[in-house]
């Protein structure tokens, strides 16, 4: 099969014997050599840190936060976390939440992306496009499953957790969500992603050879299968979206329209 031959040539070291293709892979060996080892999952661009309590002394911030009651801190943080998680899930967990948005769209695994030009030369561009759509639709289907666990993380938050998040920096709430939910969300996402991608022939071929490559350290473990790759990329984007909501609340708590959030996060800014 042409698909199997092409992916094999891409995933395995080019020094190994590979089935002959309609074009000369040898001429492109420098380009493809070590493709999996050299490529990494695309990193998400982090928003610049604004610094907690910018423009206010730490003493003023501490005094303002200390003046808040435990109930205000607890309710304010839970409201903020619920708000951020809800918006993020709604934005991503809908049709074209990933596929139709260049900011959140999940690219093909690095090894396939690297070989996409060759695939189109071999008349296999439609298969790459099919996988591209499938992995993003899989992420869109998985994200709504996050809501229950995110809500549970908010409900289980202690007053001590809340105070630590309030004064912990721009991404403290997002980091809290990751600690509490990343492992169980991975388990929830994997079967949903598998159901959406198992029907795609290129995904099956990738899984076969990427799994072998991972055993030899040629690719990262979270890229050893389409399911693992998409699950991790979807979670990365979900937490990034939550983080952006958190930063927006911290930067302009009054702009949320909530007096409680304005008071609680205003105190964290020393206002």
- The count of structural domains within the chain is 1
User: What string of DSSP letters covers 147-176?
Assistant: HHHHHHHHHT--HHHHHHHHTS-TTHHHHH
CB atoms within 10 A of CB 94: 13
Residue 107 has pLDDT above 90, yes or no: yes
Question: What pLDDT score does 58 carry?
Answer: 63
Residue 11 falls inside a structural domain: no
Residue 105 falls inside a structural domain: yes
Residue 22 falls inside a structural domain: no
Structural domain for 226, as ranges: 70-268
Q: What percent of the chain has pLDDT over 90?
A: 44
Identify which has the larger pLDDT, 20 or 246.
246
CA pair distance 84, 176, nearest whole angstrom: 13
CA pair distance 88, 105, nearest whole angstrom: 14
Taking residues 15-20, report their average pLDDT: 32
The model's pLDDT over 149-167, given as tens digits with 9 standing for 90+, comes to 999 999 999 999 998 998 8
CA pair distance 135, 231, nearest whole angstrom: 9
Taking residues 235-250, report their average pLDDT: 95
């Amino acid at each position: 099969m042409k698909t199997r031959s092409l992916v094999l040539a891409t995933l395995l070291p080019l020094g190994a014997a590979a089935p002959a293709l309609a074009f000369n892979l040898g001429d492109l060996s420098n380009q493809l050599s070590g493709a999996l080892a050299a490529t990494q999952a695309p990193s998400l661009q982090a928003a610049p840190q604004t610094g907690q309590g910018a423009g206010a002394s730490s003493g003023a911030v501490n005094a303002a936060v200390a003046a808040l009651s435990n109930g205000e801190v607890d309710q304010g943080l839970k409201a903020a976390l619920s708000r951020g998680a809800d918006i993020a899930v709604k934005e991503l967990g809908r049709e074209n939440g990933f596929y139709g948005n260049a900011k959140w769209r999940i690219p093909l695994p690095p090894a396939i992306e690297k070989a996409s030009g060759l695939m189109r030369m071999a008349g296999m561009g439609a298969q790459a496009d099919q996988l591209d759509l499938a992995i993003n639709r899989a992420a869109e289907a998985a994200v709504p499953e996050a809501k229950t666990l995110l809500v549970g993380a908010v409900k289980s938050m202690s007053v001590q957790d809340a105070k630590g998040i309030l004064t912990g920096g721009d991404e403290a709430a997002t980091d809290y969500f990751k600690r509490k939910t990343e492992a169980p969300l991975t388990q929830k996402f994997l079967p949903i992603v598998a159901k959406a991608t198992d029907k795609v022939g290129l995904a099956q071929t990738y899984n076969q050879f990427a799994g072998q490559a991972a055993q030899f350290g040629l690719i990262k473990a979270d890229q050893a299968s389409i399911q693992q790759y998409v699950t991790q990329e979807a979670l990365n984007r979900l937490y990034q979206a939550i983080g952006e909501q958190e930063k927006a609340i911290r930067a302009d708590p009054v702009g949320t329209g909530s007096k409680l959030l304005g008071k609680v996060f205003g105190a964290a800014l020393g206002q």
